[in-house]
Structure formats: structure tokens, C-alpha cells
Amino acid sequence: MIDPPASTPSPAAIDVHISGRVQGVFFRDFTCKAASQLGLRGWVENCPDGRVRLQAIGDPAAIARLLQAVHRGPPLARVERVELLPLNDTQALPDHFEIR
């Protein structure tokens, strides 16, 4: 008997808000490089309230690795909180990962 081919997992989509010392410490550049290396699509931006926000879509394992990276952050950052929200509308995401 032949097993059916393994299905490709559905992409995961996330909306993340990162709090702490995350602006002025190359957090967006760090995140963009990590996401790009993982083959994810989306964006990262500074928020007026001092947080960093990112939206990403891609392979669930790659999303998990990106979340590990943003919990750590670049050397000068001090991540205090990572708020993970589902992202339902992925139509507006770019076909690559970018800094806004």
C-alpha cells in the first residue's frame, strides 16, 4: 500500500507587537534580516508608542524561528513583552520582507 503524499502545511500569519527598548537599537534591521533569511513575507515598523510591530506570513516552522529571534532581539535591545496576534488579512503583505 502506498501512503498519500504528505500535505504541505498551511502558511502561518502573525501580527506581533514588541515592547521594551526596541527602537534605536537596530531592531527593525535585525528582524528584516532574520525574516528574509527564513523566506518570510511581510514588514516591520516602529510605532509612535515606542513599540515595534511586525506582520509576517510563511512556513509555520520559519514563523516559530522568527518569534524566537524577536524574543531575543539584537544585542542593544531589551525585549520586555512580545504580544502575538493572529493575522487574518494577508492580502496587503508584500512579496518579500521589508522595513517600513
- Alpha carbon distances (Å) from 92 to 46, 85, 87, 96: 18, 17, 11, 12
Catalytic annotation on 28?
yes
Catalytic residue among 28, 41, 51, 53: 28
Catalytic residue among 21, 46, 65, 88: 46
CB atoms within 10 A of CB 37: 13
Catalytic annotation on 46?
yes
Catalytic sites, residue numbers: 28, 46
